[in-house]
Structure 1
Amino acid sequence: MFRDKISDILVEKINLARELILDEILISNEGIISNFTTVLPEEISELKWLKYLIVSPLEKSSIVGIHESIFDLSFLEEFELKNHRIQELSPSINKFENLRSLNLSNNLLRNIPSIDTISVSLRSLNLSSNNIEVFPESIIGLKNLEELDLSNNYIRHIPNEVGELSNIESINLSNNSLTELPRGIVNLPDNIELKIEENPLINPPIEIARQGLKAIKNYFEDLDRGGVINYEAKLIFVGNGRAGKTSISKRLGKEKFVIGEDVTHGIRIKELLLPMGDENTLKANIWDFGGQEIYHATHRFFLKTRALFCLIWDKETNEDAISQNSDQVNFTIDYWLEKIHELSDASPILLVQNKIDKCNQELIDRISILEDYNVKEFYSVSAKNNKNIDHLLNGIIDTFKNSEELKDIVGFLIPVPWMNVKLKLEELTNNDELNYINYSDYLEICDGQGLDKVSANNLSHNLLHQIGTILHFESPKSLKNIVILNPEWALEAVYELLRSRLLIYNFGRINDSDIDEIWDYYDYGEQNILLELMKKFELCFEDSINKGEYIIPQLLPTVSPKFEWDFSENRFYAFQYKYLHRGIFTRLIVKLSSYSFENCFWRNGIVIHKNNTQAYVTRDLKLKRIFVHLRGHAEDELLRVVIDALAEIDPKAELRLMVGCNCDAYESNVQSQNYFYHTKLKLYKSKNVNELLCDKCSKKKSISDIFGIKSEQKNNLSAIKNYNSEDSNLLLKIKNLIKDSETLKAIEEIYLLAEKNEIKNVSSQALHLMSRYNQLNKLYLKGIVKLEEYLMNMAKINDSLLHISNDYEKNKR
C-alpha cells in the first residue's frame, strides 16, 4: 500500500517523545502533509514504552491502514483512531496485551478479527459508526469489558451469550437494525446503562426497552408464563370541524350516512373491527376529535402516543378561514400535519380528502408533504355517496399490518398476566361503571396476576396507555396515585369546562366556586383530579397572586393590559418557526407564568421578570415568530428561561434564533425591527465582516452592536435542547472557564467533582484530558506545534471537556 512521507514535524514530535520518554503521543494535521490517504507510519513503533496513542481526524488525509510494526507497542494501554477510513483490522491487534481502551469509531469496518489475547486487559471498546452487520462474536470473550459501544451500525442480531459479559457497565446498541433482544440479556448486571434507541424493536416493545434492563427482564419473565398476540390499537381522526370525520368513521363501520350530522363537540370513541386476513380481527379504537379550536389544546391528552392517524380534510374548510359558527376556526392541512408531528411518536398518517361529490380531487403538493411528514398514502372519498370508502378501509388495514412504526403495538406478544389485568380493568369500567381507581388498587389487581411493580408500570405505560385503555401519569403525585379507566369521561369533563359560558364571559379566569358550578356533577375528589389533569397538560395555571383562581390562556383577552414599558436600551430577539400554531404560545404562557410581572399576560403575550430584568414576550402567527425583547442586567439568564421553555414545549421544532438590529425608529415596535439570523451573523463575523446594512433604517450597523452580548453563549442556538437547569449550570460554568482561557482549571473542576461523587469513569477521563493538555503545551513551548495547530487541538480538548461535563451529569442522575 502506498504510504506518504511523514512530515519533519512528526519526526521532531517522535524524537521529543523519545527524549522526554513521554508515554502519550497525539497525532493530528502536522503528522501527514500529503492529500493522499495513508497508513499509520511505522516510525511511531520506535516508541516502545508508549502507553497512549491518539490519532485525531486529519484535514487533508485519512488513515486507511495501520503499519504492522505499530502492533509491537506492547505497553500500549489506549489506542484511539476514530474518524478515519479503516476498512480492515489486522489480527495483530492481539499483540496489544496491555490494551485497556480501543476506539475505532467512525471508520469503515465491516468485520472485527478475534481479539482473544487482549480479553483480560480490555475495559472499553468503541466500534460505533462503522459498517458492522454481524455482532463480533469474540466480544463475548472480553470478560473484563466495562464499556461497549456498537451504536450507529447495521447489526440485526445480538447473540444470547451477551449475558456472559459479567463486568459490563454500559452497552450502547442505539441506531442499529435490531428487531428483538436475546433472552440472555436478562443475565447482565441490573445496574448497567443500556442504550437501545432508534431500533425497530418488536420484542420487547421499544417503550419497554427504553426503560432499561430491569423493565426488559420483567417483560421476558412475564412472557415465560405465556403470551397472547395483541390485536388492539388506536385509530385517531383529526381535522377541521364539518370536514366529515364522524361520517367517514360511520361509513367505515357500515353505518348509514346522516345528512346534517351534528358537529362533534369534544370527542367520540367507538370500536371498528378490522379483518387482518389471518383469521384474526383487530379492534381499532376510533378517537374522533372535535375540530373546533377550543379543543385543540386537549389533543395533548391523547395524541402523544403511537397510533394510526387519519387526517380528514375537504376543500371548503381548508380554504375558509372561519366557518359559519362563531367558535369554529378552520386550519390548513399543514397546520394539522405539524400538529400530529409535534404530538405523536412518528406515527403513520393517512391523508383523506372528503366530499369529492361536491368538488373534484384537489391537487396538493404531495412531494413536499411526503418529504416533511410520515404520510403513508393519500385518499379521496365521499362519505355521502360512500365512494372509495372500501378503498380507504383496505388502506387502514394494510397500514396496521405493514407499518414499521406500529409493529410493536399490533401483533406483538402480550404476557398472559398483562392481558388478564387489561380484561379486569375493562370489566370495572363496563360493568361497575368506574371512571378511575387508586393506583394502589391497580397494583393489587396486578399482584393478583403475579406482577410486581415494575411489570405493572410496564403494562400501564407501554400497552394500556398506548392503545387507549387507561390514562396514567408518573407526575405530579396527585395524578400518579390515580389510574383513569375511562379517558372519555375525563376529556368530556374538560370540554364541559372549556366551553362553559361562565369561563368565556370571564375571559379565561375561574375560581373554586366557578368550578363547583360548572362541574356540579363531580365530587371534590373528581374535580381535583380533572384540575390536575388540566395543569399537567398546561391548559391552565393557578394565579400566583390570587390563590384559588385559575387562568386558561387560550381564552384570555387578545388586548394587552395597560402597563408602562421602557423601549430604550432593549435587546431584541425572535424565534422563527417553520409553523407556529396557537397552542405553542398558550403553553409558553403557562410555563412562564411563575415569572409573570404583576400578572401582565394576555392571549398574545406575557411580561416576565427575574433578578431586576424584564422580558416582553409576544407572538405573530402570520410571521411565525415569537418575539422577546429584554431590558436589565441579567438578560442572559432571562433569555435562558424562555429558551428552555420553548425546548420543553416542542424539542423537535425547527427553530432559528434571530437578533434584532435595534433600529431607533422602530424600538417601540418589536415586529417592525429588522432581524438577522444569528447563524449568518456568526458566519459574517468569522469572515471578518464587521458591519451590515440594515434594510429598515438604511444605516450600517456593527455586528458587535447588533449582538450586544457579553457572551456568545447567550445566542447559541444549540442551547435549545431539552435539559434541566442543573445541566445548564454546569455547562455554563465550564463554558465560562473555557471562554476565559481557563481550560486546565475547568478540567480540575470536573475531576474534583467526579472524585467527590465517586464517578470513576469521568474522573479517569478528566485525568486523561489533563495529560493531553500538558503534552500539547509542552509541544507548543518546544516550538514543535505551531500556533494554528495548537489552537485547533485546544479547541478539541475544550469540546471533550463539554462531553465530559455531560457524562458527569448523566452519571450523577
Structure 2
Amino acid sequence: MSPKPRSFLASPEGLQKLEAAKAELNLSFAAIAKQAGVSADTVSRLFHPERGKRVSEASLTAIAQILAVVPEDIVAAEKMSQKDGVAEAKRRIQEAIKSKATELSLSDLELTSVPKELYQLNQLIQLDLSQNQLTSVPQELGQLNNLTYLSLSQNQLTSIPKELGQLNNLTNLDLFRNQLTSIPKELSQLNNLEFLNLGKNQLISIPKRLYKLNNLIQVVLDDNQLTSIPRELGQLNNLTDLYLFGNQLTSIPKELGQLNSLTELHLDENQLTSIPKELSQLNNLTLLSLSENQLTSIPKELDQLTNLTKLFLHENEQLGISAEILGSTWQEVNSGATPSKPADILNYYFRIQTDRQPLNEAKLILVGFGAVGKTSLVNRLIHNTFDPDSKKTEGINITQWPLQLNQNEDITLHVWDFGGQEIMHSTHQFFLTERSLYLLVLNGRQGHEDADAEYWLELIQSFGGDSPIIVVLNKVEEHPFDINRRALQQKFPNIREFIQTDCQTEIGIHTLRTAIERETDRLEHLRDPFPSSWFEIKKRLSDMTANYISFEKYREICQADGEPDPSAQNSLAVHLHSLGIALNYRQDSRLRDTHVLNPHWVTNGIYKLLNDHDLTKANGELDINCLNRLLDPKDYPLERHDFLLGLMRKFELCFPFQEDDKRYLIPDLLDKQQPEAASQFELPDCLNFRYEYPILPEGLLPRFIVRTHVLSDHQLRWRTGVILNFEGNQALVKADPQDKSVSISVNGPLSSRRRLLAIIRSDFDRIHSNFKFTPKELVPVPGYPNITVSYKDLLIRESKGRQSFEEVVGDELIDLNVQDLLNGVDIEGSRQRLSDIERRNQALKLFYSYSHKDETLRNQLDTHLKILQRQKLIQPWHDRCIVAGTDWAKEIDDNLKRADIILLLISADFIASDYCYEIELKQAMEHHQAGKARVIPIIMRPADWKNTPFSDLQAFPTNATPITSWSDRDEAWLNVETAIREVVEDIKAQRYR
C-alpha cells in the first residue's frame, strides 16, 4: 500500500466542479463548513488554491461529501518529495505571474533552492518560504522591493545575503529557527521594519547598526548564544515586545529603561545576577519575566511599575521568595492559570529584607490503604502511645508535632493522616501537596504489598512532585514481609529510606523518628523567610476554636496584629492554606467569604457525604434538603451548606441537575454496573481513542463526568463510564481499572465525530494537567480497532517529514499513513508547530461576563468553545478561574482589561446584576469603543435588552433568538461558536496583517 498524499490543493478542473456544486446546492462557505464539521477558513482555502494553503485529506473528504463530489476529481495531490515540491513551487509561481498575485506561499515544499522564476514577481507583497530545506538564499531576492512580509523561518540557513537590505518596504522579517551565526549590517537599511524574528539561531552578537531601525515594534532574539546586549538597544523607542530568553546574558544595559513603549520584556533562562533600577522607568510594562536566572536582589524601584500584571521570578533561589508567593509559572499562566499579582510578590520580597524569621514549619503526610496502622504510627511517634483498638480514620486527621532539630531549632510538623478507604482516594488528591515529607505505610496482611507500593508511589509522585518519601513497612511482627526495594527506588528516586516498624513493640520507631527529623531538616523550603508580624496572626488563628470565620474577620485580625496591607494579608492566606493551617478559597464566589480555621471541618463534612449509605443506595443523587439529616446541624448549620457543596463542585465531586438546582449528583457514588447500552458501540464502526496510565487515579472518570455533565444530560452514567451526546453524535467513555486505561468510542455522523472527540480530549487534557505523569495517547488503526499506535510517535514522524511507516498486524506487515491517522482524530489547526513566541502570542484572551444563575448555560457554551481552545485560538477566562487567596474583584478587573474578546451572556439576571451591568458591562463597552477588545452579546434567555448600551452590537445566535428558545440547542451553540471563530480570525487578520 503506497502512502497517500499528505494534503491537497484543488486543480483548475476541480475548482470548476466545486463552484458548480456549491452553486447548485446554494450553499455558503459557512453552511458547507457547518455541515462538514470544518472551519469556514478551510472551505475558503479549498476554493482558493492560488493562495497555496493546502487542505488535509479528512477535511477534503468531509467537504466533498457535503457537495456530493468525488475527492479525487477535484484535487491535485501534493506528494512531498523534493522533485514534486520544486514542480509545485514552479506551478504556483507561474500561476502568480499569470494572475499578478501579491501573495505567494512556497512553504513546506522540501525546497533546497529558490526557483529563478520567483524573481519575475516584482509585484509580490508577501512571500512565505518557511519550512523548507534552504541552506542559502540568492541575492536576487533583494530585487523584490515591494515585499512587506518575508518568512524564511525553519530552514537551514547559515547566512543571509546583504542584498536583503534593499527591501525598503519590508515590515516583517521572519528568520526563526535557522543556523545563523551573524546577520549582515545592511539589514539596518530596512527603515520600515516593524517585526524582526531571529529566535532559535546561533547568534553571538547583533550589529549595533541594527538598532537604528526606529520603527521596530517586536524583536525576537530568544534561544541564541548572546552574552551581552548593546546599550544602543535602548534607542528603539517604538518597541513593545522584546524577547531575550534562553541566552547567556550576565547583565543587561540600563538603557533598556529608555524603551518607553515596551509592554513585554522576556529575560528568563539567562545568567543574570541583577537588573538595573532603570527598568522602573518602563511605565507601560505589563509583563516582566526573569525566571531561571541567578538573581541575588531586586531593585526597590521596581514597585513603581504600576501597570505590571505579570511578574515571573521563579527559580532564583537566592531571592528567598516562596513558591506560594511566586504563584503560577509562565508556562502555567500561558495554559490558562492566573498569575500572582506583582505587587504581592514585590511587597513580600521587600518585607523580608528587613523584617523576617524562618518559617520552620512543614507538612508530613501519611498515606496508605485502610488498616495499615497510619494512625497508630502517628500516636507512637508524637505521643508515644499505642491503642490496639483505635478506630479507623474517617477522612483526614491533622496533628501538630513539635520537633527540635540541630539541638536548638524549634520546628513544627503539620501531620496529615489520610484515611485509606478507596472512596476517599479521589478527594485526598486535593490535599496532597508538593514541598511536603511523605510517609507511605504498608503492611503484609493482604499479600500484594509491591502492587500497593506502586499505586501509592505513583499517586505521591503525581501530586507531591519531588517531595521526599519514607516507605514504612509496618506491623512486621504480626505479618512479616518485604518488598522489592531496589526496583522501587530505581523507579521512584524520591524514596529516601525503607524502614520496618511495629507500633506495639516499638520496633523501628526510633529509626523512623530519626529519619523524619533528618528529611525534615533537608526540606528545601522549611526555613522560608516569614515576616515577623505574620507569626502573631498565625498563632492567633491557630488558637481559635471556631471551625471558620468570615474573610472580613480574618482581615480585621490581620489589621489588629500588625498587618494592615490587604496584599500582604492575601499572601499570608496563601501560606496558611498551603500548610493546611487555615483553608481559603477566595477564587470562587461560592467560597470566598469563608476562612476555614479547622480543616477537619471541611474534610469530615465531605467524607460524611461520600460514606453515606443512603446516598450510595440512591446512586449519588443528593437532595440538598437532606443535608440537615446527613450533617450535624451544630457543626454544619444551614447557612454553611452552600459552602460545602460549593467546595465539592470546585473539587469536581458533584454537579447540580440542569432541571433542578436543588438536586446534585455525586458520580463517585454512581452504580458500578456498566449498562447494557454500552455494548451498542461497535469499535469497527466508531472513531476511537485511548489513554493508558501508570496508575488509574481514583475519581478520574467521576471528575470527567462532572466536567462534561452538560453533554450527558438524560444519558447513561455509571461510576467508571458515561455516554455523551453532541450534535447528533454519541460517545462512550469508560475506564478499565484492570488495564489502567480509558477508552473513547464516538459514533454518529462522520462529519462531526472529531468535534466531539476534541471536546472529550480537551476535558481530559485539563484533568491530566493536575498530574505529574503523562498518560499515553493511543490511536487505533482503522479496520483494526484493537491495534493502536502512539499518538506521540505519530507527531514525531510528522515533524520529521515521514509520510508512512510499517506496522505488524496479526501475521501481516501493513503500511500506515501518518497524516491519515492523525487527521482521523484531530480537528484542523490543533497540531500547528508553533515557536515559543507564537505560543506566547497566539491565543486570544476571552472573558465571560455572566450571572451565576446562568452558570449551566455558560458551561454548555464553554463545552462548545473547547474546539477553539484546543486549536489554540482562544484562552477563556471566567471568575471560577481565580486562584486561592487573591482579591477576586481585582482579578476580574485585571482579566477584563486584558481581554481581546468579551462575551456578554445576556439574561434578565445579567441585566439585574449590579456587578455585571454597572461594572463589567461599563468597562467592556469602554474597551470596545476604544478598539481594545471586541464585545459579543450572546442572548442566553429572553430579556428586554433593546435599550441597553450594547443594543447596537450584533448579538448571537442568529436574529438574537435566545439560546433557550431554540428547538435544537446544539445548532444554537454551533451558530455562536461560528460567530466567535469569525471574530477571532478577523482580529488575528487585523493584528498580524
Q: TM-score range by the shorter chain?
A: 0.7 to 0.9
Counterpart of 2:483 (choices 362, 378, 387) is: 362
SS at match of 1:64: coil
Counterpart of 1:195 (choices 312, 323, 326) is: 312
Structure 2 counterpart of 1:436, which letter? Y
Structure 1 counterpart of 2:483, which letter? E
- Residues 109-158 of structure 1, C-alpha deviation per residue, up to 9 Å, x if partnerless? 22334336636455433211112344555534545543311122233444
SS at match of 2:777: strand
Residue 598, structure 1, aligned to residue 701, structure 2: no
Q: 2: distance between equivalents of 1:734 and 1:498? A: 37
Determine if contact 2:689/2:825 at 8 Å carries over to the other structure. no
Determine if contact 2:141/2:164 at 8 Å carries over to the other structure. no
- Residues 513-540 of structure 1, C-alpha deviation per residue, up to 9 Å, x if partnerless? 5433222444322333333333322233
Residue 579, structure 1, aligned to residue 695, structure 2: yes
Q: In structure 2, do the counterparts of structure 1 residues 421 and 22 end up closer, same or farther at CA, with 3 Å as the change threshold?
A: same
Structure 2 counterpart of 1:586, which letter? P
Determine if contact 2:151/2:173 at 8 Å carries over to the other structure. yes
Residue 524, structure 1, aligned to residue 645, structure 2: no
- Residues 226-280 of structure 1, C-alpha deviation per residue, up to 9 Å, x if partnerless? 4343222221111122333223333432613444654333322211112233733
Structure 1 alignment gaps of length 5 or more:
1-5, 33-37, 322-330, 665-671, 737-749, 763-800
Q: 2:517 aligns to what?
A: 397
Residue 148, structure 1, aligned to residue 148, structure 2: no
Shift of 1:463: 0.9
Shift of 1:288: 0.8
Shift of 1:603: 1.6
Q: 2:87 aligns to what?
A: none
Q: 1:380 aligns to what?
A: 499
Q: 2:939 aligns to what?
A: none
Q: 1: distance between equivalents of 2:615 and 2:208? A: 75
Determine if contact 1:580/1:621 at 8 Å carries over to the other structure. yes
Q: 2:649 aligns to what?
A: 535
Shift of 1:292: 1.6
Residue 515, structure 1, aligned to residue 636, structure 2: no
Q: In structure 2, do the counterparts of structure 1 residues 251 and 182 end up closer, same or farther at CA, with 3 Å as the change threshold?
A: farther
Determine if contact 2:142/2:163 at 8 Å carries over to the other structure. no
Q: 2:758 aligns to what?
A: 640
Counterpart of 1:256 (choices 377, 385, 396) is: 385
Structure 2 counterpart of 1:114, which letter? R
Q: 2: distance between equivalents of 1:718 and 1:531? A: 42
Q: 2:145 aligns to what?
A: 20
Q: 2: distance between equivalents of 1:229 and 1:684? A: 51
- TM-score normalised by structure 1 residue count: 0.75
Q: In structure 2, do the counterparts of structure 1 residues 759 and 136 end up closer, same or farther at CA, with 3 Å as the change threshold?
A: farther
The two structures, once aligned, show a CA RMSD in angstroms of 4.6
Structure 2 counterpart of 1:459, which letter? L
Shift of 1:468: 1.0
Determine if contact 1:186/1:216 at 8 Å carries over to the other structure. no
Structure 2 counterpart of 1:231, which letter? N
Structure 2 counterpart of 1:111, which letter? S
Shift of 1:77: 5.3
Structure 2 alignment gaps of length 5 or more:
1-112, 117-134, 328-339, 835-842, 847-861, 875-899, 904-923, 935-980
Determine if contact 1:225/1:416 at 8 Å carries over to the other structure. no
Q: 1:675 aligns to what?
A: 788
Q: In structure 2, do the counterparts of structure 1 residues 730 and 574 end up closer, same or farther at CA, with 3 Å as the change threshold?
A: closer
Structure 2 counterpart of 1:84, which letter? N
Deviates further, 300-309 or 115-124: 115-124
Q: 2:415 aligns to what?
A: 286
Q: 2:200 aligns to what?
A: 83
Q: In structure 2, do the counterparts of structure 1 residues 396 and 356 end up closer, same or farther at CA, with 3 Å as the change threshold?
A: same
SS at match of 1:618: strand
Q: 2: distance between equivalents of 1:583 and 1:468? A: 22
Q: In structure 2, do the counterparts of structure 1 residues 46 and 11 end up closer, same or farther at CA, with 3 Å as the change threshold?
A: farther
Structure 2 counterpart of 1:511, which letter? D
Q: In structure 2, do the counterparts of structure 1 residues 531 and 761 end up closer, same or farther at CA, with 3 Å as the change threshold?
A: closer
Q: 1:438 aligns to what?
A: 550
Q: 1:312 aligns to what?
A: 441
Counterpart of 1:205 (choices 287, 310, 322) is: 322
Q: 2:883 aligns to what?
A: none
Q: 2: distance between equivalents of 1:506 and 1:49? A: 72
Q: 2: distance between equivalents of 1:705 and 1:66? A: 40
Determine if contact 2:229/2:252 at 8 Å carries over to the other structure. no
- Percent identity between matched residues is 25
Counterpart of 2:666 (choices 535, 552, 561) is: 552
Shift of 1:715: 8.2
Q: 2: distance between equivalents of 1:425 and 1:730? A: 45
Q: 1:184 aligns to what?
A: 301
Counterpart of 2:290 (choices 157, 164, 173) is: 173
Q: In structure 2, do the counterparts of structure 1 residues 527 and 696 end up closer, same or farther at CA, with 3 Å as the change threshold?
A: farther
Shift of 1:613: 2.0
Structure 2 counterpart of 1:646, which letter? F
Q: 1: distance between equivalents of 2:732 and 2:223? A: 45
Counterpart of 1:482 (choices 567, 580, 594) is: 594
Q: 1:798 aligns to what?
A: none
SS at match of 1:253: helix
Q: 2: distance between equivalents of 1:232 and 1:528? A: 32
SS at match of 1:20: coil
Q: 2:854 aligns to what?
A: none
Determine if contact 1:145/1:168 at 8 Å carries over to the other structure. yes
Q: In structure 2, do the counterparts of structure 1 residues 364 and 714 end up closer, same or farther at CA, with 3 Å as the change threshold?
A: farther
Q: 1: distance between equivalents of 2:618 and 2:156? A: 73
Residue 649, structure 1, aligned to residue 767, structure 2: yes
SS at match of 2:575: helix
Shift of 1:63: 1.9
SS at match of 2:701: helix
Q: 1: distance between equivalents of 2:256 and 2:613? A: 67
Q: 1: distance between equivalents of 2:237 and 2:644? A: 58
Q: In structure 2, do the counterparts of structure 1 residues 475 and 192 end up closer, same or farther at CA, with 3 Å as the change threshold?
A: closer
SS at match of 2:370: coil
Shift of 1:105: 1.2
SS at match of 2:583: coil
Q: 2: distance between equivalents of 1:452 and 1:241? A: 45
Shift of 1:176: 3.3
Counterpart of 1:620 (choices 714, 736, 745) is: 736
Q: 2: distance between equivalents of 1:235 and 1:609? A: 44
Q: 2:780 aligns to what?
A: 660
Shift of 1:70: 5.3
Aligned residues: 717
Q: 2: distance between equivalents of 1:695 and 1:757? A: 64
Q: 2:404 aligns to what?
A: 275
Shift of 1:391: 4.2
Determine if contact 2:805/2:815 at 8 Å carries over to the other structure. no
Q: 1:458 aligns to what?
A: 571
Report 1:119-138 matches (<5 A): 120=237, 122-138=239-255
SS at match of 1:139: helix
- Residues 718-769 of structure 1, C-alpha deviation per residue, up to 9 Å, x if partnerless? 99x9997687454678989xxxxxxxxxxxxx9999996867799xxxxxxx
SS at match of 2:232: coil
Determine if contact 1:691/1:703 at 8 Å carries over to the other structure. no
Q: 2: distance between equivalents of 1:710 and 1:301? A: 32
Q: 2:607 aligns to what?
A: 495
Q: 1:419 aligns to what?
A: 535
Q: 1: distance between equivalents of 2:653 and 2:413? A: 28
Structure 2 counterpart of 1:169, which letter? T
Determine if contact 2:355/2:531 at 8 Å carries over to the other structure. yes
Q: 1: distance between equivalents of 2:154 and 2:417? A: 61
SS at match of 1:285: strand
Q: 2: distance between equivalents of 1:285 and 1:734? A: 41
Q: 2: distance between equivalents of 1:443 and 1:371? A: 46
Q: 2: distance between equivalents of 1:97 and 1:714? A: 35
Q: 2:345 aligns to what?
A: 216
SS at match of 1:189: coil
- Residues 13-60 of structure 1, C-alpha deviation per residue, up to 9 Å, x if partnerless? 54453463656655458895xxxxx555545456678665543433xx
Q: 2: distance between equivalents of 1:121 and 1:70? A: 18
